[in-house]
Amino acid sequence: MILQYLSEFQQDPIATTLFIGIIIIAIVVAVTIHEFSHAIVADQLGDFTARKLGRLTLKPSAHLDPMGSIIFLVAGFGWGKPVPVVQNNIKKLNPQIGLALISLVGPGSNFIFSLLLAILIRFELIPNSVLNIDLVASFIFILINVNILLCVFNLLPLPPLDGFKVILGILPSRFSNSLSQMERYGAIPLFGMLILDMTFNSINIFGTLIGTPVGFTLELMLDITGRV
């Protein structure tokens, strides 16, 4: 994400630095919202693990994952520090369904936050006088963009992403138990695909998987804002 702007640094270092700073702030906000949403829903369903680990907070330092943040800056998608969930502690729902809900709420929170920003712009609850300030307008639209990227990327059905846990939660136990064995490999499949993508431009795995849904969702948000 940021690498594409580094070539402009020599031409306009101040503007480029400000723009990169905006992207970093947007990533911090999006990741914090995402992980906090996981934590609070898990807590409400009876699993207090996140509370004990200090994750029921909007402090970014509690939720940022160093590697996930670096990948986000470089590739345009990434992840936060996973919120640990003990499935057997979920009491207010079937534990398997509860796990799916906790996993889904992270990407869902990013989508809802983007939608809220778009609605605020549409109904001029964010004044035009504010949006006419280039720096503010850039921040808001980058914030929408980053939240949509985080939402779509985390819905990919690969461990350790949320989409994989949603699938584990909705599949019958006999299938989910077998599929869950993939978790022993951690993020290896994900990193493998990422390395292939960065090494061979012609492969473009992530561009294929997330490019279309991200593009469609961003167009939807722009339509809602009325500022296409």
Model confidence, pTM = 0.91
Active site residue 35: yes
Q: What is the total count of domains within the chain?
A: 1
The pLDDT of residue 109: 99
pLDDT digits (tens, 9 = 90+) for 115-171: 999 999 999 898 888 888 888 999 999 999 999 999 999 999 999 899 999 999 999
- Residue 2 clears pLDDT 80, i.e. is over it: no
Q: Which domain holds residue 50?
A: 3-225
Which phi-psi region, left, alpha or beta, contains residue 129 (left: φ > 0; alpha: ψ -120 to 50)? alpha
pLDDT digits (tens, 9 = 90+) for 104-113: 999 999 999 9
Query: Which of 8, 35, 183, 219 is flagged as catalytic?
Result: 35
Q: Tell the residue number behind the tokens 């911090």, with chain if given.
A: 28
Distance (Å, whole) CA 154 – CA 164: 9
Residue 213 Cα distances to 11, 27, 167, 202, angstroms: 33, 19, 19, 20
| pLDDT band per the 50, 70, 90 thresholds, residue 34 | very high
CB 73 within 8 A of CB 2: yes
